[in-house]
Chain A
Amino acid sequence: MGGFPILSVMLLVPLLGAIACLFLDAKPARMVALLATLIDLALGIVLWANYDIGGAQWQFTESAGLFAGFDYALGIDGIALMLIMLSVFLMPICIGASWEAITKRVGEYMAAFLLMEVLMIGVFAAQDIFLFYIFFEAGLIPMYLIIGVWGGQNRIYAAYKFFLYTLLGSVLMLIAMLWMVNEAGTSSIPVLMEYDFAPEAQTWLWLAFFASFAVKMPMWPVHTWLPDAHVQAPTAGSVILAGVLLKLGGYGFIRFSLPMFPDASAEFGWLVWGLSMIAVVVTSLIALVQADMKKLIAYSSVAHMAIVTVGLFAFNVQGLEGAMMIMLGHGLVSGALFLCVGVIYDRLHTREIDRYGGLAINMPAYAALFMLFTMASVGLPGTSNFVGEFLALAGIYQVNSWVAFVCTTGIILGAAYMLYLYRRVVFGIQKNADAAAMPDLSMREYLLLGPIAAAVLWMGVYPESFLAPMRADIEILDTRLATAAPESDAQLAIGEGAPIEEDLSHGGAH
């Protein structure tokens, strides 16, 4: 790409769009927003196409001494590339989902979404720890407005809770960052990733970062903001929240906690495992009894994210790859599920499961797509989530079979609550006349759900496309973690088992 600052342009396009939207009426604002997000998607595809797999660890690097005190430094590795792709892919879909659903203050709404896009890309592309923090924290402002202005009944409570919860989580991280930069003498993330902090210091730093990422992730028991925020946010807000914002936590672990504090990560592995095990079982059971569709999917997100954390803290390649794949897969699938809820919510204006039923009769196309995403969420082979969940669980199984055992129940419980949801909404008799009268998907809705369905299947059938850019980076991380990795509890010689796992994990690819 030569010297073309593609990452800066990807930040600039939605930013200019956001400023323009503030001054525009509803119709042109929608067009500008869609155009800006589509341009960013195109730029993202260019980015992926030009990403040199097996090349330098950090590519498309840019640096400018715009600010004293920290650098305006951007650059991506494979992990960041994939998450940026996820963001730019979901963004036009979010704009499309809000096309008709949002009628008041459209310009400001679109501006808030475009600003979110700037900040999300910025978070993944930042190579300076303070620049990262600014992007990371700034996301609170547009999201607070999106939930509070365009949300549901109880939106104000949800907006406060979202804002204060996440703010409290991240301020301690800032102190930790200040300490690290003071200690290491640089604020560059790539340098800090290779810096060895003293083990005692790592403990404190890890805890400070954990406070932030655990809330963002969200991990049990600090997940309670998520159901509120999800339920109250408008459909597109939920999509972006589940699709990308939750990934900030996982990205934080993989970019900061693990490589910067490997010893402390190993030391606290039991904590993460324990919380994840509780989360998988408890939130799955909670999801089972929800009467509100969005709440059910929100709780299922917490359970899925727990498998991500387990994979991350398995300290091996499978676990890390699996965690990344779940993050990407869950980003697509939960986003799509929220869209599916949005589709029928737009028609009937209720999220209560009991108000629907028998939709397969009057909305067959909708039922088929909803089925696909339900199956993907359950982790059916051939869909994106299967790859990720299998890899993550295979990874943790090598380290601790009990954790793997408990977390695997999450898959079974996941099947239970998702299929139960699907049965009540789509199958059965048409007990509600108004629900039975709903028309099937419109062209716009096909265009929203279709691309996600294609991506979900692609990721399930040929995950290699997504794993290849990340492989080298995950190898580097694995090497970095090797010294600290906890011992396996397996009694057998693991030397023989490992290659088999490796084969299985890429089974879909070959």
Chain B
Amino acid sequence: MDYANSFALVLPEIVLALSGLLLLLVAAWGGDKAARLVSIAAAVALGGAFALAAVAVCSGAGGLDTIAFAGQFRADAFAGLAKLMIYAASGAALIVAPRFFERAGAMRAEFPVLVLFATLGMSIMVSAADLMTLYIGLELNSLAAYVLAAILRDDERSSEAGLKYFVLGGLASGILLFGMSLIYGFTGTTNFAGIAVAVSDGLSPGQLFGLTFVLAGLAFKISAAPFHMWTPDVYEGAPTPVTMFFASAPKVAAIVLLARVSLEAFGTQDDAWRQIVIFAALLSIVIGALGAIGQQNVKRLLAYSSINNVGFILIGLAAGTQAGASAMMVYLAIYVVMTIGSFVAVLLMRDANGNQVENVSDLAGLSTTRPVLAWCLLALMFSLAGIPPLFGFWGKFVVFQAVVEADLLALAAIGIAASVIGAFYYIKIVKIMFFDEAGDTVRGAGDTPHWSLLAICALLVSPLGYLLIGPLGNLADMAAASLAVAF
């Protein structure tokens, strides 16, 4: 367990940390004039980290060789795959941000730096093998995220979103810490492997309380019902590129972290956490679907949609099997693509003056005025609703397949029936775009980066995505197999 080996394993994190610190200095001295340069440099750093993480994933790294710093950190394929999604989502946020903030006259050099630090935090989260690492990663990510939400300093809604996120996020961190202290108190260790040994023959009430509090704290981070209340407000208030970032990367990180805690630390006690996860999953699906129906604001609607999707991902976790963990990763990958695509489409909703519009009704008749944008959104919406032949269906398919294999038939039946409620508001957007009279509000003037991002996402969710089932499934299977748990 020499340090050189440990450092080699955390190479992506080192790249992110060093470039973050360096760019912070550039930002401090260069001021906002250097914003574009810092953005590009941050994107390059993310690309480098992506390449480094990709190596670990492709080799299917797992087992003892991936443990760094005496059991604090695991750079296995499971973490690696999550990192790939996180880095890609962060990169997408960096690509769309300049245009948005320059329009508002608020492109600050801190933005890319904060994104880098948040990404570093997430990177640590997904690799956590110890409650301490978990908390450090989570807080690093959260602190950067609070500032990101409030980055439009002159905008009331942005400040409100930041404050709300901070207060409620602080509460959730408190709950999480309390749970962790209980677990530590009743098991005598903070290490996941150690906890797994300590709880292998049943949970004591103290450990059960600790587990419940930890799950509640993490449920807040992934905005699973009933801890979802902050999501619509923060998503609506935060600047759109930041919302896109929140809806994609931290979701991946927190869900993967939740899976690690549940499967690695408490893998032997799956009956204890399964009921909590099932409860949160079904409630999220229903609340996410019902809550979205009445929304007028696209970002609020997508916030509820993300709550709904988290429910389906949790169903994969509830299976508690290797197939379930693999299905979860597949769903997450598709979810990230759909989320980025939807938010890029929202960013392209600009009126004649180039200002952002955010109301669902502004999309009226989009198919006649801006057919390309409308067809891309149509594909994304049907994909989010899980209608074949769009790729979103495959995410739901693998998740439910895992649940059926785990013999949780009632969960599968209720979950899939509830997905029909969600279909209603997705097809409502299609209805507004295709059936309603043209309002001609949205001009959809965009630049190449936006359109190419949207095109990539639309192509991936189109039926062509099915050609990727094989590679994606293999990666997810390798990732799930690398978890330190005997399924």
A residues bordering B, Cβ < 8 Å? 66-69, 105, 108, 130, 133-135, 137-138, 140-141, 144-145, 148-149, 155-156, 159-160, 163-164, 167-168, 171-172, 174-175, 178-179, 182
- Using CB atoms, name the residue of chain A closest to B424: A164
* Structural contact, B387 and A138, CB atoms closer than 8 A: yes
Residue in contact with B389 in the complex, picked from A134, A155, A159, A179, CB distance below 8 Å: A134
Cβ of A69: which chain B residues have Cβ within 8 Å of it?
Answer: 394, 397-398, 469, 473
A175 is contacted by which of B398, B416, B420, B423 (Cβ under 8 Å)? B416
- The 7 A-B residue pairs with the shortest CB-CB distance, nearest first, are A68-B470, A134-B388, A178-B404, A148-B435, A171-B416, A138-B389, A168-B420
Q: Residue-by-residue, is B47-76 near A (CB-CB < 8 Å gives 1, otherwise 0)?
A: 000000000000000000000000000000
Please provide the chain B residues from 451 to 487 with a CB less than 8 Å away from any CB of chain A in the complex.
466-467, 469-470, 473-474
Give 8 pairs: A residue, B residue, CB < 8 Å, sorted on A.
Answer: A68-B469, A135-B389, A138-B387, A140-B387, A148-B435, A167-B420, A174-B400, A175-B400
Cβ–Cβ contact B387 & A179, under 8 A: no
B416 touching A134, Cβ below 8 Å? no
Given A159-B435, A182-B404, do A171 and B417 touch, yes or no (CB 8 Å)?
yes
Nearest Cβ on chain A to B151's Cβ, whole angstroms: 39
Contact B420 A66 (CB under 8 A): no
Cα of A168 to Cα of B388 in the assembled complex, Å: 14
- CB-CB under 8 A from A138, the residues of chain B are 387-389
Closest Cβ neighbor of A69 among chain B residues: B469
Q: Which residues of B contact A164 (CB under 8 A)?
A: 420, 423-424, 427
Complex interface bits, B392-428 against A, C-beta within 8 A gives 1, otherwise 0: 0110011011001100010011001101100110010
Q: Is the CB of B405 within 8 A of A149?
A: no
Q: Is B227 an interface residue (CB 8 A)?
A: no
The answer to whether B473 and A145 touch across the interface, beta carbons within 8 angstroms, is no
A140 CA / B389 CA spacing, docked (Å)? 10
- With CB as the reference atom, state the residue of chain B lying closest to A180: B404
Q: Which residues of A contact B359 (CB under 8 A)?
A: none
Given contact pairs A134-B389, A149-B434, A67 touches B469 in the complex (Cβ within 8 A): yes
On chain A, the residues within 8 Å of B388 by CB distance are 133-134, 137-138
Q: B416 to A155, Cβ gap below 8 A?
A: no
Whether A178 touches B412, Cβ cut-off 8 Å, given contacts A140-B387, A144-B430, is: yes
State the Cβ distance, B397 to closest chain A Cβ, in Å.
8
A-chain residues with CB within 8 Å of residue B382 when the two chains form the complex: 141
Give me 13 other A-B pairs in contact (C-beta within 8 A), A66-B467, A130-B397, A163-B427 excluded: A67-B470, A108-B367, A134-B388, A137-B387, A137-B388, A138-B388, A140-B387, A148-B434, A156-B431, A164-B420, A164-B427, A175-B416, A178-B404
Give chain A nearest CB distance to B431 CB in angstroms. Answer: 6
Q: Which of A144, A174, A179 contacts B416 (CB 8 A)?
A: A174
Measured CB to CB, the nearest residue on chain A to B405 is A182
B393 partner residues in chain A, CB cutoff 8 A: 134, 137
A179 x B413 contact (CB < 8 A)? no
C-alpha gap A168/B413 in the complex (Å): 11
| CB of B368 within 8 Å of the partner chain | yes
Q: How many residues of B contact A (CB 8 A)?
A: 34
Chain B nearest CB, measured from A155 CB (Å): 7
CB distance from B365 to the nearest CB of A (A): 11
CA distance A174 to B430 in the complex (A): 24
Q: From DSSP, what is the main secondary structure of chain A's interface residues?
A: helix
Please tell me if the beta carbons of A156 and B435 are within 8 angstroms of each other in the complex.
yes
Q: Mark B362-384, 1 if CB is under 8 A from A, else 0.
A: 00000110000000000000100
Kindly report which residue of chain B lies nearest to residue A163, judged by CB atoms: B427
List B contacts of A144 (CB < 8 A). 427, 430
Q: Which residues of B contact A141 (CB under 8 A)?
A: 382, 387
Contact A105 B368 (CB under 8 A): yes
List of A residues within 8 angstroms of B430 by Cβ: 144-145
Q: Which partner residue on chain B sits nearest A118 by CB separation?
A: B389
Which chain B residues lie closer than 8 Å to A163 at the CB level?
Answer: 423, 427
Asked if B427 and A160 sit within 8 Å, CB to CB, the answer is yes
- Cα(A149)–Cα(B435), bound, Å: 5
> Which A residues are in CB contact (< 8 Å) with B412?
175, 178
A149 CA / B394 CA spacing, docked (Å)? 28
List which B211-251 residues lie within 8 A (CB) of chain A.
none
**In chain A, what residue has the closest Cβ to B404?**
A178
CB distance from A116 to the nearest CB of B (A): 13
Q: Across the interface, do A175 and B387 meet the contact criterion of CB distance under 8 Å? A: no
Q: A69-B469, A138-B388, A163-B427 are in contact. Are A172 and B413 (CB under 8 A)?
A: yes
Q: Which residues of chain B are near A155, meaning CB under 8 Å?
A: 435
In the complex, the chain A residue whose C-beta lies closest to that of B411 is A175
> Are the C-beta atoms of A179 and B409 separated by less than 8 Å?
yes
- Asked if A175 and B413 sit within 8 Å, CB to CB, the answer is yes
Quote the shortest CB–CB distance from B281 to chain A (angstroms). Answer: 15
B286 shortest CB reach to chain A, Å: 15
Q: What separation, in Å, do the CA atoms of A108 and B193 have in the docked complex? A: 58
A178 and B387: CB pair below 8 A? Answer: no
**Contact between B420 and A67, CB atoms less than 8 A apart:** no
